[in-house]
Amino acid sequence: MKKLTSFTKLTTGEGVRIAFTFSEVDDMGKLISQNNKGNFILVDDEIKAKVDDIEKFINENFLAN
């Protein structure tokens, strides 16, 4: 099975990109591979709104004076 280990939001010329890393683990819990990478451009408006909500939360709770 694949397990998400991290993700990052990037703003690029193509739009909002989500980069992520994941590990693969077998049914017995043995690590098959790690630090695998992938990425995609956000095109779904519902998911874009959720990413905007996370960004707003960080700005209001961690970056506000």
Name the nearest CA neighbour of 23 among 41, 48, 6. 6
CA-angle at 35, arms to 43 and 14, nearest 5°: 25
- Report the predicted TM-score, pTM, of the whole model to 2 decimal places: 0.85
Domain count of the fold of the chain = 1
Q: What is the pLDDT along the chain (65 residues), one digit of tens a residue?
A: 999 999 999 999 999 999 999 999 999 999 999 999 999 999 999 999 999 999 999 999 999 97
Range of the domain at 41: 1-61
